Amino acid sequence: MISTETTTIKRTLTGLELQVGTRLPWSLYSPQGTLLLTEGTLICSEKQIESLLNIQAHYYKQVNPAPLAASKPAKDDALKVSTFVIVHTLLERLNAAFELRNQSEANSAFIRRIMQLVFDIQGVCEENPDAMLGTMQLIVEAPHGLVHPLHAALMCEVASCRMGQGPLERFPVVAAALTHDLGMYDIQQALFEQSSPLSDEQRRIINEHPQRAHDLLKQKGVTEPRWLLPILQHHERIDGSGYPAGLCGDAICRDARLLAITDSYSAMIRPRAYRDQVLPRDALREIFQQRGNTIDATLARLFIDVMGVFSPGTLVRLTRGELALITGRGDNLNQPTLAVITGPQGKRLNEPRSMTLEDSSEIKSILCIQDHAELIAMLGHIWPEMTPIPSAA
């Protein structure tokens, strides 16, 4: 009898597996188990490969027994890619746009690239919003200055769509989300990795970054008020406690109120040098508790409805002991869809098992994905593969 079970093996990188200009087919880890790069990351240089070899990076590979008869993949299947490839493509294009931020001769190119990214985001969210939101929560190694605005933009797109807004009406707030932190982009990664108190200069840059981003975009030629105003106001709070102008109530535009929520959620769920990750459910609870005080109550309820009580990309332990990943919000807030990825004793399943919970009481606890980074190696295809993003013009 021929075995049909899949075996997962750990392999140390030799360098023969990688080529410049191609994407990782699996996630890479350090010898200590730290996630270095997720599946779909573009290999940009020989120096990058050499660095990975020097630290003896490893990966997990699933080995299937040879099938009795090879089946030819459907033509449509060959055109699909994993959700990690989609997200990394968006991150690379956002990085390419941001590299033009200080080049006055490239103003039109900068605006074109941001606008094209908005169209790309709208396309992937139309195809599978849960997959996009979930994959973003699993991307833990990308630069904060890129992953944070992209995450905010995806959430703004999905939330605005839920409000019944058409693509053109949603367009400005998604563009604003992509560019809202440009005023402090140069120090974002340092702030993300810093555990010491802020210097006076850093605090000044943070306080001024909404105005600086607003002014930079105007210099680039952006004139759309619904793009500019949310950036200027995304740190204002409805009780007047925000900055830079201390606005309150209706003086803050609706798009800025939405951007404030997505900005806060994305920032909370990503670990910093000075604190651990805030679990997604705890971040949603914080937003719920602040509704009507610092953030808009109606938009807070909408956001929680959009994300679900258990947002896609959340790792959970079920009452029977299995680990599972929330893959979709389901038709009911307390009945998410999920993929079971281990058995009750913690052994990884050969193939994730899809199910919909009848009741959220079946979830025993929420886990931090960074504490189980090795599981990301098998999550690249946990959502259905998607249509690749068209090549940039």
pLDDT recorded at residue 393: 59
Question: DSSP characters for 264-302?
Answer: HHHHHHS-BTTBPPPPHHHHHHHHHHHBTTTB-HHHHHH
Contacts of 332 (CB under 8 A, 6+ apart): none
pLDDT in tens, 143-173: 999 999 999 999 999 999 999 999 999 999 9
Contact 274, 194 (CB under 8 A): yes
Q: By 3-state DSSP, what share of the chain in percent is helix, strand and coil, each rounded to 5?
A: 50, 15, 40
At 13 the three-state DSSP class reads: coil
Q: Mean pLDDT for each 10-residue chunk of the chain (393 residues)?
A: 54 88 88 85 90 89 52 56 95 96 92 97 97 93 94 98 96 98 94 89 96 96 97 97 95 98 94 79 94 96 92 94 92 85 87 87 89 79 92 69
At residue 343, what is the residue type? Answer: G
CA distance 252 to 246: 10
For the chain, the maximum distance between any two Cα atoms, rounded to a whole number of angstroms, is 73
Give residue 359's pLDDT.
80
Provide the 10 A C-beta neighbour count for residue 44.
Answer: 11
Q: Tell me the CATH number for domain 82-307.
A: 1.10.3210.10
Residue ranges per structural domain of the chain: 7-63, 82-307, 315-378
Task: Count Cβ atoms below 10 Å from residue 221 Cβ, excluding itself.
Answer: 10
